[in-house]
A = this chain, B = another copy of it.
Amino acid sequence: MPAKKVNPLDRMFHPESIAIIGASASNPEAGWVRRLLDSGYTGQIYPINPRATEINGLKAYPSIRDVPAPIDYAIFNIPARLTPQIAADCVAKGVKYAHVFTAGFSETGTEEGNQMELSLKQIAEEGGLRVLGPNCMGIYCPASGMTFNQDFPKKKGQVAFVSQSGAESMRLVFLAQDFDIYFSKVISYGNAIDLDAHDFLEYLADDDDTKIIACYIEGLRQGPRFVSAMKECLKKKPVIVLKAGLTESGAGAAASHTASLAGSKAVWDAFFKQTGAIPANTMDEVADIIQALQRMAAPKGRRVAIVGRGGGIGVIAADICERAGLKVPAFGPETQEKLLQVIPEAGAGVRNPVETTYGMGGAVDFYRQGLPIVDADPTTDVILIHMAIDVYGGHTRDLPKRVTEAADALCEKAKVLKKPVAAALFSGGHTDTIMAVAAARKKLMKAGIPVYSGVESASRAISKYASYCLAHTQ
C-alpha cells in the first residue's frame, strides 16, 4: 500500500513553531500569545516585539530574523503598512505560512489598501511564503491548540468550517457548541490573496479528522477550481454551503462587505445541482443541518411520521413538513389498527400525525409502545417527534420530572428503532420547565437524536439531509 500523500497544508494546521509578530506587550493577557498558551498549543511560540524582552513569560525578539530557530507559521498583528516589510523578513527567515490578521487592505476600497495588498501578495508569491488572509481570523484547530478566540472549546470534533467571514466563523463555533457539536478545523480566510476556499476544500477532502464540511462564501476568485474541489470533497463527505449574497439585496451587501462579486443566482443554482453541495440560508440552518449529518441515520426517503401531543400542532406540522419538501402520508391500515391499541383515547389521531394523549405520561407510554409500530410502518422513512412542553398552560409542579421521564423513555427506545429519529423540542416560559427542557435537550443529543427548536427548523434540516442522502446513495 503506498503511503498516503500528505497535503503540505497539514503543516499549517499543525505548525511546530509560531511567531506572533506584534505580540502585545501593553495588554498581554488579551493577546495572541496568551490565547495560544491557554488553548494548549505545545509547539514553540516566539513573541516578536522590538519594545519588549519578555511577553507572557516567553522571551521576545525584536524581529523575526532574530529568532534562533525555524518558524512554520507567523501571525501578523501589525498595522497594514508594515506588512510588506514583515513579509520580506518572513521570506528571508524561511517562514512557511503567514496569517495576516491585519485589516485595512482591498476591503477598504481605497487605492492605498489595494496597493498594500498587491505588494504583500507579490513579495509572498516571489518568496514562496503562503498567505492566509489578510483581514481574517485565521485558524482554529483544537488538535494542535491553534485558536483565534479564547472562549473556543478545546474539545475536538468532526466538523470543518471554511469561512470568508471572521465573525460568522466565530458564530458557528458558539452556535454548534450549544448543540454539543465540535470542530476539527475552522478557517477564516478573509481577502484570500493566496490561500482560498478551494485550497482548504482540497485539504479537507482527505483530512481524516474531518467528517463534515461547512462553508460560508460571499464570492469566489477561482470559480472552476472551487467547483472541482467541491466535487472531489462531496465524493468523500458532505459539504454544506451558505452562499450569502444570492439575492439582489444580498449581492449589494456582499459587494460592500468583502468586495465580493456574489455571482448570479442561476450560476449558484447550477453549482448546487452539479456538485450536490447542501445549500443553507442562515447560520442557524448550517448548525441544524450539521446536527442531522452528525446524529441521524440516513433516511431512505422523504416520508415523515409525525408524533406528538396536540391535534392542531400536528396539522400545522404536516403543512410545514410538506412545504419543506417532505411528505406526511397516512399509515397503512395495519399500522393504524395497531396504534389504536396503544392510544386509549377515542378519536385521537393515528393516521399520521400521531396524536399522543394524556399529557407527558401519554407521551412516555407512546414512546415505549407506539414508536416501534411507527418504526415498522413501511410508509415511514423518518420519525419526527415534537415535544411542546408547557405551551398550553396547566403547568404543574411535577412537569420537570415528567419532561425528564419523557426524554429518558425516548432515549431508551431510540436505541432499538431502525428509522432515523429527530426531535423538535420547545417550551413555554416557566423557569423550571426551561431548565428541565435544556437538560432533556442535552440528553437527547447525547443519545444521538438531533434536537431542533421547532418543527420548521427540524423539517428543513431533515429535508436537506434526505436530499443529500438520496443523491449520494443511489
Interface residues of A (CB under 8 A from B): 103-104, 107-110, 113, 149-152, 163-165, 167-168, 170-171, 173-175, 177-178, 216, 218, 242, 244-250, 252-258, 281-284, 306, 309-323, 326-330, 346-347, 349-353, 355, 388, 391-395, 428-429, 454-456
Contact = CB atoms under 8 A, between A and B. Distances in A.
Contact of A349 (B250, B253, B352, B395): B253
Nearest to A107: B347
Copies per complex?
A: 2
Given A282-B456, A351-B256, A392-B174, A246 B319 contact: yes
B167 A316 contact: no
A252 B350 CA distance: 11
Nearest to A310: B167
Query: Which among A149, A165, A255, A316 has the greatest number of chain B C-beta atoms within 10 A?
Result: A316
Given A247-B319, A312-B257, A252 B351 contact: yes
A110 to B, nearest CB: 7
Contacts of A216: 312
A320 B282 contact: yes
A473 to B, nearest CB: 24
Contact of A174 (B107, B170, B258, B429): B429
A175 B391 contact: yes
Nearest to A456: B282
A322 B165 contact: no
A351 B253 contact: yes
Contacts of A165: 310-312
A184 to B, nearest CB: 19
A316 B349 contact: no
Given A109-B347, A149-B393, A257-B349, A250 B315 contact: yes
B282 A312 contact: no
Nearest to A252: B330
Contacts of A164: 312
Given A328-B252, A347-B108, A347-B109, A392 B171 contact: yes
A462 to B, nearest CB: 14
Contacts of A346: 104, 108, 110
Contacts of A248: 322, 327
A398 to B, nearest CB: 14
A352 to B, nearest CB: 8
Given A253-B353, A282-B456, A328-B253, A312 B347 contact: no
Contacts of A178: 429
A322 B250 contact: yes
Given A257-B349, A319-B250, A322-B247, A312 B218 contact: yes
